[in-house]
Structure 1
């Protein structure tokens, strides 16, 4: 079961969201291609002939503005076209590279995004947005040391705007995603108190961030604070009603609270009934409620013969645990 954005699974699931960026050889090839062919490789979209009749920018700054206008209209292809044009006028335009990186992140073109963001930092090593975005990419791919360095640097640079004696050293301009990422890292280190502090700062900056609400809920879940966890998962779903991870996590919470019908309803929002029964059974097994776990595994088998191998394996395992518990009890 998926638990958090960029983090762990529990029970019947496996680790997700951690598909590595292309290997070193692939990245080196792309770097070489960019060096040989300029920045055209950053453009992926409609044939450039489509934009032949558009006004051309006279300066890189004007090109970025034209790209921003296209981006505001939702036309990311045209925006990319203008940003690449801006780089032709000035290949040291950090803003053009940053916008390109943002677009490719949104498209899951992580290799191009990473290259663009690294280009930003080559020009401006203190670019908070690029440090944050690259740090989040590192976190997504389990490069925790690199993520920690980039995200901490982004936060430290932002804090330079505040006087040392100010009680609060963040505001609406601060990098919410950097605080969220550092919260995930703290949870991974087992420091849930620090993680929750960081998530709350992130939510102070960006209150309607479903991913951060989900992460805060999961941090409470790690502390067995079921009620508080459920509150945050429901908040995340109010923001994004089809947030799969939040539905799964809410199902986990309801199962821990022994609210099985509510758990079933939550899980069925994002999976079939057989899998929902299997997952509830798995949590019951983890909690030592073996008889109930057997009921849910058996129901999963009844509901879906195609789900048989997983549910059957879980049923066999829980029967062994149940037998072991009985033997321990009579000693």
Structure 2
């Protein structure tokens, strides 16, 4: 989950969990509706039209065919057989877990969510699924439910660094940076060498204005994983805030195009009040861009306004 400066003038790398409420349909009906819609996708229809029934005798046979189809790259057919396996054995948690994994790989997060909910309806004490569910809900921007789910995990197991990390992210998104720091401290005590956690903790400190501490954590993350794009970008932000513009440009350039890297360096230089440096980098952004670059253009307009206002003063 990427978490960086959110200004539209920067080329930010964009970021960085509750059971269904009772209503007109049950969880099983909700899943059935979603999965049958998915089963009827265009690619699946061509398979189904060749053999409308795709007969299977039981859940095990359907599951075997689903796995084989997936291994062969027949994605829609695999999903069809997974639905059949589920229909034979809707109480089989292993089938639901496997379906959730498949849907996650296909980035069908709404279906992952439903699978997790069905598992938790059957086994509320499954902490692994509850944690995955909570973290998924952060991705879906269902933060209140995500927080509730992750709090339940740490209430039962205070050794779960992923849940503390997720709670820290939720607090940061809500602007509660001091609270976020406490969660990240707890996660850090359990997992001090995880690059994703180091980046998240560092960004939380960055948001609190603790730039030196943030820089140290970004450097540690990069020492462990040198190509970690989120940490490279955030490290560049810190360097730019400290007016180390060549260093910032070098780090930005590892994750952005040359025009974008120069634009972001120039933008922060402008915010620092270093107008000459800002003008240099923003002009470079324009020069290096092969087409009209709106962000750099807007930033140069803002810079020229600042310079004119200074002359009037």
Q: TM-score if structure 1 supplies the norm length?
A: 0.71
The corresponding residue for 1:179 is 164
Contact 2:11-2:260 at 8 Å conserved across structures: no
Q: 1:249 to 1:312 in 2, by over 3 A?
A: same
1:244-323 correspondence to structure 2 within 5 Å: 244-323=229-308
The corresponding residue for 1:110 is 109
The corresponding residue for 2:195 is 210
Q: 1:110 to 1:91 in 2, by over 3 A?
A: same
Which whole-Å CA distance do the structure 2 matches of 1:208 and 1:178 have between them? 16
Q: C-alpha displacement at 1:132, in angstroms?
A: 2.0
Which whole-Å CA distance do the structure 2 matches of 1:218 and 1:33 have between them? 37
Q: C-alpha displacement at 1:31, in angstroms?
A: 5.2
Which whole-Å CA distance do the structure 2 matches of 1:229 and 1:6 have between them? 13
Contact 1:12-1:282 at 8 Å conserved across structures: yes
For residue 14 of structure 2, the aligned residue among 13, 16, 26 is 16
Q: Which runs of 5+ in 1 are unaligned?
A: 19-26, 48-55, 160-168
The corresponding residue for 2:95 is 96
The corresponding residue for 1:234 is 219
Q: Which runs of 5+ in 2 are unaligned?
A: 17-24, 48-57
Q: 1:322 to 1:279 in 2, by over 3 A?
A: same
Contact 2:31-2:114 at 8 Å conserved across structures: no
Which whole-Å CA distance do the structure 1 matches of 2:289 and 2:181 have between them? 39
Aligned residues: 293
The corresponding residue for 1:143 is 142
Which one scores higher on RCO, CA 8 angstroms, separation ≥ 6? Answer: 2
The corresponding residue for 2:119 is 120
Contact 1:6-1:140 at 8 Å conserved across structures: no
Q: C-alpha displacement at 1:273, in angstroms?
A: 1.6
Contact 1:57-1:86 at 8 Å conserved across structures: yes
Which whole-Å CA distance do the structure 1 matches of 2:128 and 2:103 have between them? 14
What is the RMSD computed on CA atoms of the aligned residues? 4.3
Which whole-Å CA distance do the structure 2 matches of 1:84 and 1:308 have between them? 48
Which whole-Å CA distance do the structure 2 matches of 1:237 and 1:102 have between them? 29
Deviations 1:250-299 (CA, angstroms, capped at 9, x unpaired):
11111112211111111111112221111011111222222221121112
Q: C-alpha displacement at 1:208, in angstroms?
A: 4.2
Q: TM-score if structure 2 supplies the norm length?
A: 0.74
Deviations 1:175-232 (CA, angstroms, capped at 9, x unpaired):
x222111101222233323212212322343444322211111111112222221222
Q: 1:252 to 1:299 in 2, by over 3 A?
A: same
